[in-house]
Amino acid sequence: MAKNVEKLLKKYLLNTSLLSILAVWTTSGFSRPLHNYEIAQTISFAPNFSTATLNICNQRKTPVEYYSTLDSAARYLKPIYTSNSKASHFINSAGKLVIRQKGCFEFLVNLSKYRQSAPSSNRQHHLLTSGLLFWYPNYIDTTAEWMAFRKHHLVQIKTNSTYSLPFTEISEHHFLYPPYLPFMSQSIPIGEFEQVNLEFNHSEKLKARLNFLDPFTKDEQSAITSWISIAISGVNQIADLPSDTIQVNLFKASHYSREVTPFALVERGEGTTISMKVRASATLEQLISDWTAFHEFSHLLLPFIRRQDAWMSEGFASYLQYFAMPYSELSAQHNSDSQSKDKSESAVDAFNDFMGGIDRGIRNHNRHPNKSLQTLSEQLRSTRAYRAVYWWGALIWFEIDLSLREQSTSLPELIDQFNRCCRFHRAMWTATELAKSLDKLIEKPFILQLIQERRHQSDYPKYSLLLNKIGVQDDGNRNIKLVDSDAFNRFFRIYRPSD
């Protein structure tokens, strides 16, 4: 492994050798017996995964009504009547599962009836839909209630196969539900595949579970594992990633793919999953030079924002993606004879790449003149004006960041504060709700007003005044000119604290 990358890994990871990364997964002692939980759900899989048995033990005296994140889930559920499980549970017409009595009840889940990804010639695993398996009581309305309840609700998985859940594992095969009310199903890989669990030096709670869902070689797995570790660490250096466990599903991109990662997607709603297609032949250096992973993990610094307001979440990830990339280490890779670039040069490189994005956004917007950011955002699927929306949104976050600096704080600090106090107040946010919540945390609120003005304008924003504030001029040639390096370094220091 190249020296600088190794240094980078050492800086961030709990373990210094890649081999040990491949095996790390600590579990705290599991002392509380199942019956101490208010509700415990055990899911046992049949060997071929065509069915699963769902056992729900309920200690509450009052009836419990459960819902799933998949509306049709009840259709695949059939009560199993045994001497221990009386016939006092049923599935109602709204697809809710109602359990009237204290005690344990069993259901058969018909997994093969629901169209899901099954093993193929080069895949030995199933991708199950989480909504078929997990049921949530709906007597809980508020976040505070859910947070308290979550500790009393246990999920246990019984299978000899490899599987992955985007939930926090409290001991082997025992999980807690996500820290917010779940709202959307995700893919659960189960069967035969390689899995790597990652832990990090700088954050005890932060974990990632990498699932190689196509046949990658050991070397390819090592490179991808290092890359994902560096991406998570780079983003976590900006602000603390709040997810307990991030599930990363990795697929092979076509041999002919020109891009290193031609496809990437963040899924949230029942935990957090990032799915990516990766060119298996890519070297570690090529992977790290690609912005995709840095973009995807940056998304996780904010909660889920509704799709109509894509400019807000995409702008945020686009604004931060280059700032999370380890430029100094990368340039040292490419110029192994020369000294590694100093931190200001590496910051200039990152900012130049950011300006390159802004430039692509402007050119894309020229094809959709007179459309506001909000309109383009809502019509993203039909207009496909991705670059315009992403980079216009990024400019808004840049402006928010600079205004925060005038109040002696910064975007990373505000995001940290928001994630600690308010992130889980809702599972899904609108741009307005998020702006209001952020405004509550600062002395002189301005974010809501700023986004309302900017998102309804139809001209791409002028940004030279913003650049002036950080001592930079745009030379019109996709390269920035530093006119006040102190101002620029002050702005950038927050993104490169440990350089």
Q: Is there binding between residue 317 and Zn ion (CB under 5 A)?
A: yes
Residue with smaller CB distance to Zn ion, 40 or 228: 228
Residue of closest CB approach to Zn ion? 317
Given the complex with Zn ion, which of 317 and 347 has the nearer CB atom? 317
The least distance separating Zn ion from the CB of residue 314, rounded to whole angstroms, comes to 5
Cβ of residue 310: shortest distance to Zn ion, in angstroms? 8
For the CB of residue 200, give the shortest distance to Zn ion in the complex, in Å. 22
Between 109 and 317, name the residue whose CB sits nearer to Zn ion. 317
Options 104-112, 312-320, 362-370, 413-421: segment touching Zn ion (CB under 5 A): 312-320
Query: Which one of the spans 97-105, 306-314, 399-407, 456-464 is the region binding Zn ion (CB under 5 A)?
Result: 306-314
Residue 313 or residue 340: which is nearer to Zn ion going by CB? 313
447 lies in the site for Zn ion, by CB under 5 A: no
Sign of CA dihedral 491, 322, 473, 334: positive
Nearer to Zn ion, 226 or 318 (CB): 318
| Closer by beta carbon to Zn ion, 39 or else 317 | 317
Minimum separation from the CB atom of position 448 to Zn ion (A): 23
Q: Least distance (Å) from Zn ion to the CB of residue 93?
A: 39
Instruction: State the nearest-atom distance from the C-beta of 316 to Zn ion, in Å.
Output: 9
Residue 196 touching Zn ion (CB under 5 A)? no
Name the minimum Å distance from CB 295 to Zn ion.
6
Applying CB under 5 A, the site for Zn ion has a residue count of 2
Q: Which stretch binds Zn ion (CB under 5 A): 44-52, 124-132, 278-286, 307-315?
A: 307-315
Q: Which residues bind Zn ion (CB under 5 A)?
A: 314, 317
